[in-house]
Structure 1
Amino acid sequence: MTERKSVILSDAERRNLRRKLRETVEVAQDVLHPRNQMKILVGKGKAEAERVGEAVSKLARKNAPVIGAIGLGAILFAARRPISNWISKRRQGRSTTQDGE
């Protein structure tokens, strides 16, 4: 091979490598751009939120009777005073009607 062909081939290889380097730099700049970094971060956050939401709903379905019992207990605890007052009024109403007869 002549020296001229060697120089032409090496110049073509250099141009090809330079083109590849430019493309790689452009891709890296695009990936590292703050806008794209935020998109990636938001996407990861959404995926994590979906995963956690699925896990919570699966756990809730699995433990629905326990959650229902706890909820019922909380409602009864919150309403204990009105229930007690209602029962007392019912008892007093009976005792006054029986005493009057």
Structure 2
Amino acid sequence: MTTPATETPNESFLEPSNAQSGSQPLTGLQIEQWHTKGFALIDGLIPHDLLNNLLAEAKELFPGIGSKEAAQITDFGEGMVFPSSSVSLNDLTLHPRLLMASA
């Protein structure tokens, strides 16, 4: 396991730490970082196949950056609701490991 995400003066990017397997996906250090820094970058919390499905659905649901269609959107996401028409977005929202990590 790597240590929680950190930023040092010599680094210009953050590295994620790994999720744990089992019922508690976050370590104590990851939870502490979330509480003290307001974020935690965790690799492996959500299964890659779910993320890949979500990305594929997002390409169908949302216009590309810089496209004419994107320029016409002015609602800043207020149309996003739960449950969504996207099965993968619903699956992400209710994923047991995400719920456990945020509990």
TM-score by length of 2: 0.21
More helix by share: 1
Bigger Rg over Cα: 1
Relative contact order: is structure 1 or structure 2 higher (C-alpha 8 Å, sep ≥ 6)? 2
TM-score by length of 1: 0.22
